[in-house]
Amino acid sequence: MSDAVDRRYGPAPLPQPRGVVSAALVDALRQPPHDLPTDLGAQLATGDPLGDEDLQLTLFLCYELHYRGWQGVDDDWEWQPTLVVLRSVAERAFEAALRRLAGPLPAVLPAGVPRALADLVAADDGPSLAAALQRRATLAQFREFVTHRSIYHLREADPHSWGLPRLGGPAKAALVEIQMDEYGNGRLDRMHAELFRVTLDRLGLDTGYAAHLDLVPAVTLATNNLISLFGLHRRLRGALLGHLAAFEMTSSLPNRRYGNGLRRLGLDEVATRFYDEHVEADAVHEQIAAYDLCGGLARAEPGLTADVLFGAAAALAVDRLFAAYLLDSWAVGRSSLRPAPEPVALPAAA
């Protein structure tokens, strides 16, 4: 049987480490499953979890074991007990930082969840990355943006799908409806991840799964780790749905702007199809997510109401950090991407 990997779908090769802990973890993952050092988690710097390259990559390394895995890495690492302990240490620091960032949230009755979500979205005053991409971004800057977003969009619906077995009733039906659109209603060529792969190709970028992982900074990893954190913990299922609602409720207009930005730069309708598809789909999803998905969950499980709002607030707050990082980088003429890693030297042939 062939061991060849289809780079479009993964698993991806292990990335370059970004600190002491991720280096130790990468080294360990290249070996058969074994116990990690008991003090490894204590070596994580937790002063700024959202911006710490080592912590965010460590989380991403652990989380990807639950998605496509890593090339050459034994699948038994997924639930190796000491790896889960390390992940838990990083998660506690990450979740605490997210709760600080989201700030205090209003007490809301279950019936008020759709309105509260709309108020959170309306109050979001983050920098408009979409407007910048529409009106003035260069082609190089647009390619950078797409490079960042490739880490999420090439597995677009997957982290939210973890909510399906944890729900019942109206909320489950609503999530299935949204996810079916994300997965192209069973047609490969209409799956949103496949549409995004076409956009990557039209922009001359590598279309492989996680191909750009080494280039994206901690804040980009955090936008992805946030959903994995919510998706992998049943206790955070309300936050997972709140995240999805915020995503859908803030998606239609930005995607219109992204498509218009690509048209301004001379790209064709094939390149813009991913964004154009989201303009219509997410306008419908917005109502389903607010009323049927999150409203349905709050009615069925009133105790999760606060979690729904936390998930939405965290999604908006981390997205503000991401947008600010890109715009601040471009404002001073600097790339928003990390330098490409040096190629690994291969041993000389005998």
Mean pLDDT of 27-35: 98
CA 53 to chain CA mean position, Å? 16
Q: Which residue has the tokens 């910048």?
A: 132
The residue with greater pLDDT, 67 or 156, is: 67
Q: Which residue has the tokens 């990390």?
A: 338
Would you say residue 350 has pLDDT above 70?
A: no
DSSP string, 3-61: ----TTT-PBPPPPP-SHHHHHHHHHHTSSS-PPPTTTGGGS--SSTTT-HHHHHHHHH
CATH 1.20.910.10 residue ranges of the chain are 111-331
Would you say residue 268 has pLDDT above 70?
A: yes
Would you say residue 326 has pLDDT above 50?
A: yes
Would you say residue 345 has pLDDT above 80?
A: no
Percent of the residues in the chain that have a pLDDT greater than 90, as a whole number: 90
The b/e string for 298-327 (b: 16+ C-beta within 10 A; e otherwise) is beebeebbbbbbbbbbbbbbbbbbbbebbb
Cβ atoms within 10 Å of 258's Cβ, excluding its own = 26
Q: What CA–CA distance (Å, rounded) separates 184 from 91?
A: 32
Would you say residue 1 has pLDDT above 60?
A: no
Q: Extract the tokens encoding 220.
A: 């980009």
Would you say residue 141 has pLDDT above 60?
A: yes
The residue with greater pLDDT, 251 or 141, is: 141
Q: What CA–CA distance (Å, rounded) separates 41 from 22?
A: 10
The b/e string for 239-253 (b: 16+ C-beta within 10 A; e otherwise) is bbbbbbbbbbbbbbe
- Give the helix ranges, DSSP H, for the chain: 20-29, 53-64, 81-102, 113-123, 129-135, 139-153, 158-161, 169-182, 192-202, 218-232, 237-249, 252-264, 269-287, 295-300, 305-331
pLDDT value for 70: 98
Percent of the residues in the chain that have a pLDDT greater than 70, as a whole number: 97
CATH of domain 111-331: 1.20.910.10
pLDDT value for 127: 81
Would you say residue 159 has pLDDT above 80?
A: yes
pLDDT tens track for 271-285: 999 999 988 777 788
pLDDT tens track for 79-134: 999 999 999 999 999 999 999 999 999 999 999 999 999 999 999 887 899 999 99
pLDDT value for 344: 55
The residue with greater pLDDT, 76 or 278, is: 76
Mean pLDDT of 159-184: 96
Q: What CA–CA distance (Å, rounded) separates 34 from 15?
A: 20
Angle at which helices 218-232 and 139-153 cross, to 10° = 20
Q: What CA–CA distance (Å, rounded) separates 61 from 71?
A: 12
Is residue 22 a contact partner of residue 58, using CB atoms and an 8 Å limit?
A: yes
> What is the overall mean pLDDT for the chain?
94
Mean pLDDT of 163-185: 96
